[in-house]
Structure 1
């Protein structure tokens, strides 16, 4: 793994020939035959957007795609998609791509980057919040409508909207979670006969005097979807209820922590900072 990472090179992609490699990789990553057209990529990179490629021995094994966004008052970079070839996942390529994105975005004059991700996908959550320093205070229900690809099929496409203030440093927000410790957990969890975590009940009145709140999520949502889709949907609806309530009442998610005693992960919520 270390040898692979050391031999990966990162660079922006601008030519139609190399952008065609990105569309080919999209088909592999999402098992989908509807990639972004090459001419669309070309137009975006000529108008403030970015496509960054991760290459191993000149073979494209990962990419990150983003375009300019506007919220009515300021321009930001909208980070739309990132894909890693299945043979090279979970070795740190995603983090390298995001840090390269930050570097190039700062060179272009951007001050912050926004993107969405599924909060039940804990690998993405750990990268986006705990490693990169993003934060979320907006929950979008069924953001993209029905999505038929292998990762999203069968579930409402709820998303966190992440803000990454790329010119700022992130402070530590919380220690790792000890489940026997005195922390405010907003969902009670039990376990079924297969050992899967089940969200038993939610708490929407905790935290008025707390500095930090904790929202448990399963660390294996794709496995749960395969074995018990009804349970995966229950996790979607329970977490939707909790996150929507607390985000609407001035809290934001600033980290995702692995439990030291189970397969659960915990989102860390703290009072939102106005910018």
Structure 2
């Protein structure tokens, strides 16, 4: 028996923007498009990661391209660009929005949250059933934001999804990703929930098995437990700052990539989904049949 708990309550787009001290604006002129492209390159420490003509094309084709503007300085401090797609939901092909890139040049200010809840509301108003995006499962702070803060679910583990990447964040590592699924509230589904308490802890009637832990020297410690589709909650813990590890000890970072792929990747291939994350960097992986996942909130 699995207890299904509700996902986090999120602020309205207006409240989130007010808290972050920003105004969410469409990237509907080339000055804003250029500012967004420059911001993306600064965050990833590269050049032409998202070209201005591509951002412009996404916006003109009906996709989602917005920025977070600081009213005091007039500076663009965050941006997100997403294109329309489709996924199968309950046996039917449904419209989705794939959020290709979201970034801010400030942390812990609430700008990322303001962008994401605006994006979700934009989808709901247009009958788009869910937002999808990919993220690196080794980056604990992003995973906490996506699964713990937003309440998205990791649907798939994608091995070396983008191939070799040469930006400052990803260079030297393989590009394994989780595919996030975040219902918008459009449609008539009951919604999405995972078997987690408000603090990210496992529900009391779930037996949790830890597959991967962080050792005393920061190394990956694998459990001898065999991963299969058994109806148990699985835990996979990742290091607190893989980006620092990549700079300090690239070999250790590669060991972590392999360890997460062999545990989380295998578990998700067998039917588990990433339904939550604790603040200590521990993923909660739930058998798919225990996850209520649909089009609603």
* TM-score exceeds 0.5: yes
Contact map agreement 2:229 2:287 (CA 8 A) in 1: no
Distance of 2:195 and 2:272 partners within structure 1: 17
- The correspondence for 1:78, drawn from 98, 102, 110, is 98
User: What is the deviation of 1:11?
Assistant: 2.2
What SS class does the counterpart of residue 80 from structure 1 fall into?
Answer: strand
- The correspondence for 2:196, drawn from 133, 149, 173, is 173
Look up the match of 1:66: 82
Distance of 2:169 and 2:234 partners within structure 1: 29
- Decide which moves more: 34-43 or 155-164: 34-43
Distance 1:227 1:250, change over 3 A: same
Distance of 1:9 and 1:148 partners within structure 2: 32
Look up the match of 1:247: 268
Deviations 1:41-73 (A, max 9, x none): 222112221112111122101001100113473
User: What is the deviation of 1:6?
Assistant: 4.6
Moved over 6 A (4+): none
Deviations 1:16-42 (A, max 9, x none): 221111112122111111132222222
Look up the match of 2:250: 229
Look up the match of 1:34: 48
User: What is the deviation of 1:211?
Assistant: 4.0
Contact map agreement 1:202 1:242 (CA 8 A) in 2: no
User: Structure with the greater relative contact order (CA < 8 A, sep ≥ 6): 1 or 2?
Assistant: 2
Contact map agreement 1:177 1:257 (CA 8 A) in 2: yes
Contact map agreement 1:207 1:213 (CA 8 A) in 2: no
Look up the match of 1:14: 28
What SS class does the counterpart of residue 234 from structure 1 fall into?
Answer: helix
The answer to whether 1:139 aligns with 2:153 is no
TM-score by length of 1: 0.86
The answer to whether 1:270 aligns with 2:296 is no
Distance 1:53 1:70, change over 3 A: same
The answer to whether 1:154 aligns with 2:175 is no
The total of aligned residue pairs comes to: 260
Distance 1:8 1:186, change over 3 A: same
Gaps of 5+ in 1: 260-264
User: What is the deviation of 1:135?
Assistant: 0.6
Contact map agreement 1:203 1:242 (CA 8 A) in 2: no
The answer to whether 1:45 aligns with 2:68 is no
Look up the match of 1:262: none
